[in-house]
Amino acid sequence: MKDYCPDCGPATVSHSVERWSARVNSVFGYLTKPPELVWLAIRPAIAYTRPGRMAPYAARFAAALGLGVIVEKADEKDNWRTRVIWEEAERRGIVMREFRPFGLPRDIFFATFKNDTRAFDGLPRPRLAHESAQNWMDDKGVILKKFRATGVPVPRGKSCTTIKQAEKVLAAIGAPVIVKPSIGSRSRHTYMHITNAAELRAAFMKAKELCPSVVVEEELPGFVFRITLVRGKIAGIMRREPPHVIGDGKHSLQELVDEENKNFLRQGPIFHILDVDRASLASQQLSLKSVPEKNRMVILHPKVSRSFGASTTEITDIHPDNEKLFLKIAEVLNDPLVGVDFMIEDMSESWLDQKCGVIECNSLPFIDLHHYPLKGPARNVAGMVWDMIFTQTPPSR
The yes-or-no verdict on residue 37 having pLDDT over 50 is no
User: For 85-110, how does the pLDDT look when each residue is reduced to its tens digit (9 = 90+)?
Assistant: 999 999 999 999 999 999 998 899 99
The yes-or-no verdict on residue 31 having pLDDT over 80 is no
At 7 the pLDDT is 78
User: For 252-304, how does the pLDDT look when each residue is reduced to its tens digit (9 = 90+)?
Assistant: 999 999 999 999 999 988 999 999 999 899 999 999 999 999 999 999 998 88
Q: What is the CA radius of gyration of the chain?
A: 22
* Most confident of the following: 172-186, 232-246, 382-396: 232-246
At 54 the pLDDT is 81
* Mean predicted confidence (pLDDT) in 119-124: 93
Q: Which residues, 6 or more positions from 375, have their beta carbon under 8 angstroms from its beta carbon?
A: 311, 312, 313, 314
Q: Name residue 159's beta-bridge partners.
A: 215
65-71: list long-range contacts, CB under 8 Å, 24+ apart: 67/101, 67/102, 68/99, 68/100, 68/101, 68/102, 68/103, 69/99, 69/100, 69/103, 70/97, 70/98, 70/99, 70/100, 71/97, 71/98, 71/99, 71/100
Average pLDDT, the chain: 88
At 187 the pLDDT is 77
Q: Which residues, 6 or more positions from 116, have their beta carbon under 8 angstroms from its beta carbon?
A: 50, 52, 390
d(CA 330, CA 324): 10
Q: Which amino acid is at 299?
A: I
pLDDT band with cut points at 50, 70 and 90 for residue 52: low
The yes-or-no verdict on residue 362 having pLDDT over 70 is yes
At 395 the pLDDT is 63
Nearest to 52 by CA among 106, 154, 128, 152: 128
pTM attached to this predicted model: 0.85
At 394 the pLDDT is 65
At 13 the pLDDT is 72
Cβ–Cβ < 8 Å for 240, 309 = no
The yes-or-no verdict on residue 181 having pLDDT over 50 is yes
Bigger pLDDT: 394 or 274? 274
